[in-house]
Amino acid sequence: MRSILLLPFVSAFAVVVACGSGGDRSGFDPANGDGSSGGSSGKPDDGPHFGSSGTPGQTSSGDPTCAATTAKTEKAKVDIIFTIDDSGSMTEEMVQIKTNVNNFASKIGGVGLDYVVIFIVKKGTSGNTICVPPPLAGASCADNPPTFFHVNQDVQSNDSLSLILSTYDSQWKSHLRPEATKVFIEVTDDESSLSYTSFDSQLLAKAPAGMFGTAAKRNYVFHSIISKPSTATAPSSSICSTAANTSVQYQQLSLLTGGLMDEVCKTSYASVLDNIAKGILDRVGCELTYPAAEAADPTKVVVQFTPSGKPAEKLTQVTDASKCGSVANAWYYDDPAKPTKIILCPSMCSTANAQPGAKIDALVGCKAAPPS
């Protein structure tokens, strides 16, 4: 049996494969996953996430005849695009975004997601502008590649969606990764002059093909911090106390893509951005890249969870996400026939991520029980 160690919340997975008796023990840096020291990326400090450990000459399957070596595979990637209305009525809202965005980024990076943040809003230190502070941005409002880029673009009350489309090719397409999930975060107290259907169709048509997915399978999520009151059911034409106009087009985009909606009129955005961060983590933070080269037969993979200092527990494979609520400690493939991802069910993902020092292993080469 071969053991593949999957670490979803660090910058790379350590893949443990059979290599015969004896051998070396590979170290793993949980900040970078490549043995290099951390701190060079400019990202906020990582929080607790899975670590890895091993015993020379023994895999996590308990087989004493196999030594462990490591190879790498990718973790989940997410490209996050903030589009912020900088019209005259948005002064306090812009301050809240600036105040809370570093904590937001820290939560995304703290579980090991490979993220890029892009701002589309007027840059500056006076008037209705935003200067994103370090560590997300560089000094003096500067970009901080490869993590943060600021598109210095005036965004007025009704043109957010149009500007996302018109600035894409020339100003921010080059910062996206085709394989990454795209996450839009709209912040405005007004309505869009472009319909949500027109925006969606034009975005899906952008090159390269598939960057934002297809109408059958979108590769983007649209979160909205907008004028709809928190208590109103979307789509709603109601507006919160300090908003300028309705927000139906943005609501429809969030409904279409499974995005979250929150109220732009709130005086603090700490919980607003926390909720969106959680939404991102729930969507992509529990995905593990399927090790296709080592596991050609998806029926011969067993996933197990090892809490820190406790025995390993085999997890239950289910057929799809719909079974997650009825089966404890479960996981599933994105495509059972030709998997590209191993996905932890939400409750299992939360349990694992809440325990520093825990690890997830995929045991490869043993016949697995059929999925529930």
How many residues can be counted in the chain? Answer: 372
Residue 233's pLDDT is 97
Q: Does 52 score more than 50 pLDDT?
A: no
Residues 329 and 305: beta-carbon distance below 8 Å: yes
Q: Does 48 score more than 60 pLDDT?
A: no
Residue 150 β-bridge partners:
119
What is the percentage of the chain residues whose pLDDT exceeds 70? 79
Helix (H, G, I), strand (E, B) or coil at 80: strand
Residue with tokens 């109601």: 238
- Neighbouring C-beta atoms of residue 152, cutoff 10 Å: 14
Cis amide linkage into residue 339, ω under 30° from 0: no
Tokens in use for 138?
Answer: 């560089």
Residue 290's pLDDT is 80
Task: Report the candidate in 280, 157, 155, 262 with the shortest Cα–Cα distance to residue 221.
Answer: 280
**Rounded mean pLDDT of the chain?**
82
Domain 77-284 sits in CATH at 3.40.50
What is the percentage of the chain residues whose pLDDT exceeds 90? 59
Tokens in use for 347?
Answer: 């409750």
* pLDDT interval class at 56 (50, 70, 90): very low
Phi, psi of 89 (to 5 degrees): -85, 5
171 versus 77: the higher-pLDDT residue is: 171
pLDDT tens, residue by residue, 115-153: 999 999 999 999 999 999 999 999 999 999 999 999 999
* pLDDT interval class at 266 (50, 70, 90): very high
C-alpha pair distances (Å), 57 with each of 151, 211, 217, 270: 52, 43, 44, 48
Instruction: Tell me the mean pLDDT in the region 331-340.
Output: 91
* pLDDT interval class at 6 (50, 70, 90): low
- In the chain, the amino acid numbered 205 is A
pLDDT tens, residue by residue, 271-304: 999 999 999 988 887 888 787 767 678 888 888 8
Domain with CATH 3.40.50 in the chain: 77-284
25 versus 130: the higher-pLDDT residue is: 130
Task: Report the candidate in 87, 80, 120 with the shortest Cα–Cα distance to residue 279.
Answer: 80
Tokens in use for 38?
Answer: 């951390």
Instruction: Tell me the mean pLDDT in the region 214-225.
Output: 96
Q: How is residue 123 annotated by DSSP?
A: B
